[in-house]
Chain A
Amino acid sequence: MTHGTTPLKPATDDTVGHRIRWTLSDYRVVVGQEFAHLLRQPANFAWQLGFPVVMVLLFVYVFGSAMDVTGQGAGVGYIGYAMPGLFAMTMAFGFMNTAFAVADMKEKGFIDRVRSMPMASSAIVVGRNLADTIHAAVDLAVLAVIALLIGWSSDGTALETLAAFALLLWLRFSLIWVGIWLGLLVKGTEQAGNLFALAFPFGMISSVFTPPELMPSWLQPVAEWNPVSATATSIRELFGNPVPIGDAWPEVHALAAAIIWPLVITAVFLPLGVRRFRNLGR
């Protein structure tokens, strides 16, 4: 049995320049793997989109026909209110897919294997986020096309519309760090699945589908200060869709809140995730 003739000396990374170059290469390889998944398993990808699409149809055609958010009668203008909420909700829930995928990698020994390899220790964490953020952008584009088909439209300028989508991805980007950290924290996929029970109220106790003013007073502050609400409210403003506004700070300053919240989440959970990854062997 032979080992062939391929030069097997791995590249050295003894200088800072080499180290950065190879770290970036590691990120690219990890992101590339995710794309190979998409290309090989388009059906999986379609199923992941199934949930938000079903929610769109349910809210717009089932619940929406009974809701009067514009004061002009049940169902009137609800799509304009609901669509930005559904965009925000898709961004808010999607990070659970990340947690599940990371827990699965850990359970299957995949993380052990890469940890025993000479790659950058941040590559799995950072690469995963980049891949999932790009994935989320694709989700969002598909969802937007569906929204346009059923009669939603943005009344904002092209720049405002783009800014709104950027805010949505910004929220998701920050929540993916939470997903990675949770995925590394839990014992396995079973526990990761249970986390959905936490994510669901996080997405729903917000202004996504219901103005917080209509909620019981003890729940109002939770919904008003929820990062998902900030993003939902500010994209409604940017899209020029109906905005029922309250007087809590994050509602009045929704744009600022939609920028600051993800920044805070990232600042907390990115280091937590990388540290958790490095300390898996403690």
Chain B
Amino acid sequence: MSSSVIEAHGLTRRFGETVALDDFDLEVARGSVHGLLGPNGAGKTTAVRILTTLQRLHTGTAIVAGHDVVREARQVRRRIGLTGQQTAVDDLLSARQNLVYFGRLFRLGKADARKRADELLAQFGLAGSAHRVPKKFSGGMRRRLDLAASMILAPDVLFLDEPTTGLDPAGRREVWEAIAGLTAGGTTVLLTTHYLDEADRLCDRISVVDHGRNVVDDTPDGLKRRMGAERLEVMATAPEALEPITAVVASVATGEPSVEPGTLTVSAFVHDPVDALVTAAAAIREQRLEVADLGLRRPTLDEAFLELVGRETA
């Protein structure tokens, strides 16, 4: 069995004049949580729609869970789950009725569909709301019911297209916790997001997607490292201290320090982070300068992302 559960090569898809996917490659390791990160319109959703057999591709090949998405669409459909951008549950049926309905359409027998519905309601923390209609649920609960419906056959791969878009912070946290528990059961997760914190928190690997291409494929930490050196950051307690602090930072930095008077912060890239930190700390003590904070800072994923994509996310 291959270690990759998704293998896509050279995927191209146009919509009229627009090229949604342009020679898109993707490999996703079995059992991982893989993120497609990119601005709106980058091609993330089109990639998911092709991999879930919803959209035809123009060129390229894609194997999902061991089957070709074009020639063996039916086999692929038996092995995947999909939670799209909108919550695709039936608002007129109760949570449990929804899961039984989808279970029956996944072709489980009546008794099995009911049993599976109860298991999933418990797994996603919805047992107490089994007989309520999702219309009355919070955003996070609706999303969890949606996730449960995608997990009916314990799929090899679960696709999540922007799973937390439109949710409040509490709802996002609920959904994050639910997603984190999925891989324990052997399911691989491919999710799209334009939230960097979400990708950072959930994903083992991230593919940065832009203009229909997979620009970079790396771990969240690896992406941050691509930003190069770490930064030394010193925060002063008063504006008068900014000048001597800037001099200290400049003495250990590889380039010009940047000064932000608003936050009283001086920062600069450093070559040997630990050595720079110790040297700067010694100089600050020697000159009896007062500082509010002194430390090394890794670039955030936001900075790494902007560096790679070169434009602001929506």
Contact = CB atoms under 8 A, between A and B. Distances in A.
A110 B107 contact: no
B116 interface: yes
B55 A281 contact: yes
Given A2-B123, A3-B185, A117-B77, A10 B108 contact: yes
B84 A33 contact: no
B270 to A, nearest CB: 43
B237 interface: no
Given A10-B153, A110-B90, A118-B106, A1 B84 contact: no
B93 A112 contact: no
B159 to A, nearest CB: 8
A1 B123 contact: yes
A116 B160 CA distance: 13
A41 interface: yes
B4 interface: no
Interface stretch (A22-30, A49-57, A217-225): A22-30
Interface stretch (B29-37, B46-54, B246-254, B256-264): B46-54
A112 B88 contact: yes
Interface string B210-240: 0000000000000000000000000000000
Contact of A112 (B54, B94, B101, B120): B54
Interface of B is mostly: loop
A22 B106 CA distance: 10
Given A6-B116, A10-B108, A29-B104, A1 B87 contact: no
Nearest to B118: A4
Interface residues of B, number: 47
B209 interface: no
A108 B84 CA distance: 9
A198 interface: no
Contact of A116 (B54, B86, B107): B54
A8 interface: yes
Contacts of A107: 86
B85 A109 contact: yes
Contacts of B86: 107-109
Contacts of B81: 116
Interface string A105-122: 001111011111111000
Contacts of B88: 108-110, 112-113
Given A10-B78, A115-B54, A281-B55, A3 B105 contact: no
B172 to A, nearest CB: 19
A93 B86 CA distance: 30
A71 interface: no
Interface in A1-57: 1-4, 6-8, 10-11, 13, 22, 25-26, 29-30, 32-33, 36-37, 40-41, 44
Interface string A184-223: 0000000000000000000000000000000000000000
Contacts of A117: 77, 102, 105-106
Given A1-B181, A36-B97, A113 B90 contact: no
Contacts of A4: 115-116, 119-120, 123
Contact of A6 (B85, B87, B102, B112): B112
A3 B154 contact: yes
Contacts of B92: 36-37, 40-41, 44
B52 A2 contact: no
A114 B52 CA distance: 11
Contacts of A40: 92-94, 133
| Most chain B CB atoms below 10 A, which of A2, A3, A36 | A3
B105 A29 contact: yes
23 contacts: A2-B123, A4-B123, A6-B108, A7-B112, A8-B153, A8-B154, A10-B107, A10-B153, A11-B109, A26-B105, A33-B93, A36-B92, A36-B93, A37-B92, A44-B92, A108-B88, A110-B90, A112-B49, A113-B88, A113-B149, A116-B77, A117-B106, A118-B106
